[in-house]
Structure 1
Amino acid sequence: MSPAPLAIAAVSDNGPSGVLSIALLLVLIMDPFGNMVVVNNLLSRLPPPARVGVIVREGAIAGVLLAVFALVGRTLLDQLGLTEPALSLAGGIVLFLIAVGMVFPAKRITDEDPNPSPLIVPIAMPFIAGPSAISMVILFAERQPPGVVAAAIALSVGATTLILALAPFLMSLLRRRGAVALERLMGIFLIVISVQMILDGVDAFLDSRAA
């Protein structure tokens, strides 16, 4: 079984629909609509052009980080003696914690950074290239051609960066209540995906023991 419900089609399809399926899952994990509230507050002291520049820079850094993990993640895991079931379980648990923080903000595990122009942390990592996104690109790199994974990373990071760059405009449309409601809805979807990842990890572990 695949690591998440939305990934089922992507695992068996190397075409455009596979790229879109992986990218959609990554966008859900990156949660740009939920993070735009925090990012908008973090960069509120910067003028609009500088704000967009910071977000584009952080998106580019996140894309590079995800691409690096897609290329060398499996080698790194092999050197550390880690297995795919362990990766699936860890990714599911981290994703579950993040999703719980989306549904119940008081339980959020990420903090706001007072730096008016933060570098890498927290926008590039963990908001965009977080532990769950890294886990997913490593898993997909095992099952998909490099070009498919690279295209999905570029598409998802590009979409997330665009949404974050449009945060002031989107916030004016959604208002804070609308943004919070959308974040919680996405959090519920991610809880389901994280539970599926955990179940798949347990299933893979049991299969490896029985073999």
Structure 2
Amino acid sequence: MSMAHYVSVFLVSLSAIFFVVDPLGIVPLFLTMTAGDPPEKVRRTARRACAVAGGLMLFFALFGGVVFKVFGVSLAAFRVAGGLLLLVTALDMLRARSSATRTTPSEEQEGIAKEDVALVPLAMPLLAGPGALATVMVLMAREGNDPVAMGLVLAGVAITFMASYFVLRGAGLVQRALKASGMAVLERVMGLILAAIAVQFMADGVKELWHG
């Protein structure tokens, strides 16, 4: 494979994973759930949430293919299903509202009331939700047996959650810098790019199902 191919794999993987994880989108919830906590606890909560969510994503990236074999699901069918799930998330982002595929209002309220929110709901399902898990599984399966390309997908996961940690750690600064209007604009731009990636996933899956 050429260098251009690997650059393309890395950029598509990183953008797809980062946009579906969408750490900027959970900044308001993170601030609400950690309101009143001392700065050290806020940093610890962000660190634990990103570490657990990143570990979960890496696990599904490496071993998610077993799901295909156990349930007899083809990669093409999973691409279509994953693409549909991503498209729903992307449409919610375009409308600048929280996606129900990540968490429900009742889960959000339960998270606000909990003393430790790092694992649930921050790590799962806010950061590593169904859409994010489906995305990383599809990306890994699409690269087949190319270890370099698969390594680039894993690098995209690692970079996404390192960036997510710094976003959540500085959540107050992010919200003050972007304000409500800036957050909404950024959310819509990210949603548009994610929608295009979702459509590409579905198109590839439908093409494989048709020829299969």
Report the TM-score range of the alignment, normalised by the length of the smaller protein: 0.7 to 0.9
How many Å apart are 1:93 and its aligned residue? 1.3
2:207 maps to what in 1?
203
Instruction: Choose which of 60, 82, 96 in structure 2 pairs with 1:91.
Output: 82
- Partner amino acid for 2:128? A
Question: What are the residue-to-residue correspondences of 1:57-96 with 2, within 5 Å?
Answer: 57-96=48-87
Superposition deviation, residue 148 in structure 1: 2.6
Contact 1:89 1:202 in 2 (8 A): yes
Partner of 1:127: 126
- Residues 17, 180 of structure 1: alpha-carbon distance in 2 compared, 3 angstrom cutoff: same
Matched, 1:139 2:143: no
Residue 12 in structure 1 maps to residue 5 in structure 2? yes
Q: How many equivalent pairs are there? A: 198
Cα deviation, residue 141, structure 1: 2.2
Moved over 6 A (4+): none
Distance (whole Å) between structure 2 residues aligned to residue 27 and residue 40 of structure 1: 20
1:51 matched to 2:42: yes
Question: Which residue is equivalent to 1:183?
Answer: 187
Q: Is the aligned partner of 1:38 residue 2:37?
A: no
- Partner letter of residue 129 of structure 1? A
Q: Which runs of 5+ in 1 are unaligned?
A: 1-8
Q: Does structure 2 retain, via aligned residues, the 8 Å contact 1:58–1:120? A: yes
The residue number in structure 2 matching 1:162 is 166
Instruction: Please state whether the residue corresponding to 2:73 is helix, strand or coil.
Output: coil
Which whole-Å CA distance do the structure 2 matches of 1:10 and 1:52 have between them? Answer: 38
1:105 positional shift: 4.5
**Aligned-partner Cα distance in 2 for 1:10–1:167:** 36
The CA distance in 1 between the partners of 2:194 and 2:43, in whole Å, is 27
C-alpha separation in 1, matches of 2:203 and 2:21: 21
Aligned with 1:29 (options 6, 11, 20): 20
Q: After alignment, is 186-195 or 164-173 more displaced?
A: 186-195
Comparing 162-171 with 134-143, greater Cα deviation is found at 134-143
Deviation at 1:173, TM superposition (A): 0.8
Query: Is the alpha carbon distance of 1:179 and 1:107 closer, same or farther for their aligned partners in structure 2, counting shifts above 3 Å?
Result: closer
TM-score normalised by length of structure 1: 0.83
Give how far 1:20 is off.
Answer: 4.4
Q: Confirm or deny that 1:151 pairs with 2:144.
A: no
For residues 119 and 163 of structure 1, what CA distance do their matches in structure 2 show?
Answer: 15
Percent identity over the alignment? 29
The one-character-per-residue Cα deviations of 1:2-38 (angstroms, maximum 9, x if unpaired) are xxxxxxx99931xx66434422321111112222122
Partners in 2 of 1:59 and 1:24 — Cα distance? 17
Say whether residues 1:108 and 2:99 are aligned partners: yes
Aligned CA-pair RMSD: 2.3
| Offset at residue 76 of structure 1 (A) | 2.1
TM-score (norm 2): 0.83
Encode CA deviations 1:107-153: one digit per residue, 9 max, x unaligned: 73133232243142222122221222212222232314243333222
- Counterparts of 1:164 and 1:106, CA distance in 2: 19
Q: Counterparts of 1:128 and 1:43 in 2: how far apart (Å)?
A: 16
SS, match of residue 120 in structure 1:
helix
